[in-house]
Amino acid sequence: MASSEDTATVQPSVDQASVGRDNGLTYASYLRLSEMLDQQRCRSLPVAHDELLFIAVHQVYELWFKVLLFELADVRDRMLGGDTYRARLRLRRCHEIERVLVNQVDVVDTMTPHGFLEFRGSLGTSSGFQSAQFREIEFLSGADDHGWLARAGWLTAEDRRRLSRRLAEPDLWDAFVVLLTRAGFPVATASQRSAALCEIAAGDDRYSELWELSEALIGHDQMWSSWRQRHQLTVLRQLGVRPGTAGSAGASYLAGRAQLKFYPELWEARTCFGGSAPV
Ligand code: HEM
């Protein structure tokens, strides 16, 4: 059975040189603003007006992805350790971050297709499709996309090592199934798990924590799907049916991706709630 010892721990970096010192710390030095604000380098010449926005928005996404990875790894470890309360608490935070991620696409939509095309050529073959942290969140959440990793020749050795480890270790769904086992449910087959999920949903107080947790997981899945759908619409709005810079068919490729679910068994179980009669 999986335990938290099988999993990669995620630790934020520590500024070793400044631990315990308070010599003139300022807002800017604590947040390393001069380094951070120096990272937005446009590639178009003359600089296209919208390129700064495009770079900043993507960097903000990657910062939130970093926080999500930290939180989701903790959710997984808490579940493996039997701490359902903190697992739910962290998932609630993840939902709110994900809501920000969905709404942030509105800012991208303030670009006109013409404004975007002014600098699109300077993106070369780069694309959000290559985001290692985005895939890491998907792997940790429950998507086993070995095919993407096999094709991802652009990754650094460190990113590849991290992503391979994520695929090998327990994901959020594995950790939830461990909790079902501990609650006494047989979970070896899909139909056993489906029976367990229906029983949990039936309102028995003994399973209220598992029910709340399954709702929090489906909330995470739903928010991620919402982002995929929202992003697909923006791609349609900005590019029409042009292909993407990573070489995909663009909006139609993304429409297929928008159907994916991390927890199909949780979604399928909705049908058994209250019997199969139409309401
Ligand atoms: C003008 C705005 C945007 C356009 C036109 C756009 C376009 C595309 C296209 C066409 C793809 C498919 C892969 C390819 O062939 O390139 C893609 C994938 C992706 N983009 Fe964007 N994108 C935009 C904004 C963003 C933003 C703000 C993010 C935030 C990080 C992002 C993250 C991603 C990710 C993660 C994928 C992979 C999705 C998947 O494979 O499921 N994109 N994008």
Domain total for the chain?
Answer: 1
Residue 123 in domain? yes
Whether residue 272 has its Cβ less than 6 Å from ligand 1: no
Cβ-based neighbour number of residue 224 at 10 Å: 23
In whole angstroms, give the CA distance from residue 78 to residue 81.
5
- pLDDT tens by residue, 61-100: 999 999 999 999 999 999 999 999 999 999 999 999 999 9
In whole angstroms, give the CA distance from residue 249 to residue 246.
9
Residue 236 in domain? yes
Is the pLDDT higher at 28 or at 15?
28
Residue 14 in domain? no
pLDDT band at 1 (very low <50, low <70, confident <90, very high): very low
- Residue 90 sits in a domain whose CATH number is 1.20.58.480
Residue 33 in domain? yes
Is residue 32 over pLDDT 60?
yes
Whether residue 247 has its Cβ less than 6 Å from ligand 1: yes
Residue 176 in domain? yes
- pLDDT tens by residue, 182-238: 999 999 999 999 999 999 998 899 999 999 999 999 999 999 999 999 999 999 999
Q: What is the 3-state secondary structure (H, E, C) of the chain?
A: CCCHHHCCCCCCCCCHHHCCCCCCCCHHHHCCHHHHCCCCCCCCCCCCCCHHHHHHHHHHHHHHHHHHHHHHHHHHHHHHCCCHHHHHHHHHHHHHHHHHHHHHHHHHCCCCHHHHHHHHHHHCCCCHHHCHHHHHHHHHHCCCCHHHHHHCCCCCHHHHHHHHHHHHCCCHHHHHHHHHHHCCCCCCCHHHHHHHHHHHHCCCHHHHHHHHHHHHHHHHHHHHHHHHHHHHHHHHHHHCCCCCCCCCCCHHHHHHHCCCCCCHHHHHHHHHCCCCCCC
Residue 8 in domain? no
Whether residue 244 has its Cβ less than 6 Å from ligand 1: yes
CA of 237 from ligand 1 middle (Å) equals 12
Domain with 151, as residue range(s), is 23-272
Q: What is the pLDDT of residue 20?
A: 74
Residue 240 in domain? yes
CB 172 within 8 A of CB 141: yes
Residue 278 in domain? no
Query: What is the best residue among 52, 127, 139 to mutate for testing ligand 1's pocket, by most ligand atoms within 8 Å of CB?
Result: 127
- pLDDT tens by residue, 91-115: 999 999 999 999 999 999 999 999 9
